[in-house]
Amino acid sequence: MFRILDTKQLASDVKWFRIAAPLVAKHRQPGQFVILRLDETGERIPLTMAAADPKTGTIELIVKAIGKTTRVLFTKQAGDTIQDIMGPLGRPTEIHKVDHAVLVGGGVGTAVIYPLAKALQDAGCFVTAITGGRTKELVVLEDELKKVSNAVYATTDDGSYGFKGTVADKLRELIAVNRPPSQGEPQGCRAIGVVYCAGPVPMMKAVCDLTRPFGIKTIVSLNPIMVDGTGMCGGCRVTIGGKTKFACVDGPEFDGHQVDYAELWDRLGAYKAHEKVALDRWEHECKIGVGK
């Protein structure tokens, strides 16, 4: 059993959790995730850790309520418990010094790139973070990012806050100013050496389409459906540069220019019908007062 110590609602459907998980916290590195199972009948879902503190033995998760499991998790409060948390899983992010690292987070994808900011700053990078959402309410972690980044831009699709447009639109602007030099050109100011990106699949694809022509190395954190998280089931397989890889042991981070996004997007929808059944059933149970 893993106790929830603290929660904070970040948006109408986004919640932050601090959870006691000392063994995970002790070894966790940026980029890694956990698999959790809420209770005896629960499914196993992967969630990237936004932060961890080995001293207090705690990890932090940011969760968007989408399907049944995340909605049930959303109802949990400080003092509640989670039956199983396994981790840390996945390969840690490879951090190298570059002049300028740009982090791009869409929605709760920002929770994935957030822990990289400090690591990149510590490595001596100038760090720019772009965090976006459809509307103001869905922009998360902006204040937290400001503490560990050199520049932070918030974007909203509807212009209700910050830059009006998508994170990719903002990145396009940034590349126009800070693109890496072409051959023979002098090194420009703060040329972007690497982009880290996490969020919805179409967003990651858009970001990679932008950076590809400039040859900017782009690392994406993928979120396919997983079961065990140790390489045993192969459910999380993704195609990278024409080769099948398992996100749980080979990833979750990959060269974004090599990812088959159409396949990833398609496979993520494999259980749409089941998700609806589970959600409807849970909502009905809540209505009649037997939901957990």
Partner 1 sequence: MPLTPKERMAIPRQQMPERPADVRNRDFNEVNVGFQESLAQLEANRCLQCKDGKCTRGCPVGIDIPGFLEHIAAGDLKSAAELLLSANALPGITGRVCPQEEQCEQVCIRAKGKNGRPVAVGHLERYVADWARENLDMKTLLAPATGLKIAVVGSGPAGLTCAGELAKKGHDVTIFEALHTAGGVLTYGIPEFRLPNKVIDAEVDRLRQMGVKIVCNVVIGRTFTIDELLNEEGFSAIFIANGAGLPIFMNIPGENLKGVYSANEYLTRSNLMRAYTFPKNDTPIVKGEHVVVVGGGNVAMDSVRTAKRLGAKEAILVYRRSREEMPARIEEVHHAEQEGIIFKLLCSPIRVLGSPDGWVKGVECIRMELGEPDDSGRRRPVPMKGSEFTLDCDIVIMAIGTRSNPLLTQATPGLKLNKWGYIEIDDTGATSKPGVFAGGDIVRGSATVILAMGDGKKAAATIDQYVRTKHGLPAVVPPSPS
Contacts with partner 1, 14-53, as mask; x by CB under 8 A: ---------xx--x---------x---xxxx---------
Least distance between partner 1 and beta carbon 267 (Å): 6
Number of residues that bind partner 1 (CB under 8 A): 42
Position among 81, 181, 270, 283 found at the interface with partner 1 (CB under 8 A): 270
Cis peptide before 252 (omega within 30 of 0): yes
Complex with partner 1: residue 151 or 278, whichever CB lies closer: 278
Residue 244 engages partner 1 in binding (rule: CB under 8 A): yes
Residue 85 engages partner 1 in binding (rule: CB under 8 A): yes
Kindly indicate which of the ranges 56-64, 77-85, 153-161, 176-184 contains the residues binding partner 1, using the contact rule CB under 8 A: 77-85
Q: Please state, in angstroms and rounded to a whole number, the distance separating the CA atoms of residues 55 and 164.
A: 40
Position among 15, 68, 100, 205 found at the interface with partner 1 (CB under 8 A): 68
- CA torsion, ordered 265, 266, 270, 272, to nearest 10 deg: 70
Contact 219, 194 (CB under 8 A): yes
Which DSSP letter does residue 290 get? -
Residue 75 engages partner 1 in binding (rule: CB under 8 A): no
DSSP run (H or E) holding 84: strand 84-89
Q: Please state, in angstroms and rounded to a whole number, the distance separating the CA atoms of residues 236 and 252.
A: 10
Residue 286 engages partner 1 in binding (rule: CB under 8 A): no
Q: DSSP letter string over 125-183?
A: -EEEEEEEESSGGG--SHHHHHHH-SEEEEEETTSSSSEES-HHHHHHHHHHHHPPPPT
Residue 227 engages partner 1 in binding (rule: CB under 8 A): yes
Complex with partner 1: residue 5 or 249, whichever CB lies closer: 249
Residues that bind partner 1 (CB under 8 A): 23-24, 27, 37, 41-44, 68-69, 83-89, 227-235, 237, 239, 244, 246, 249, 263, 266-267, 269-271, 274-275, 277-278, 281
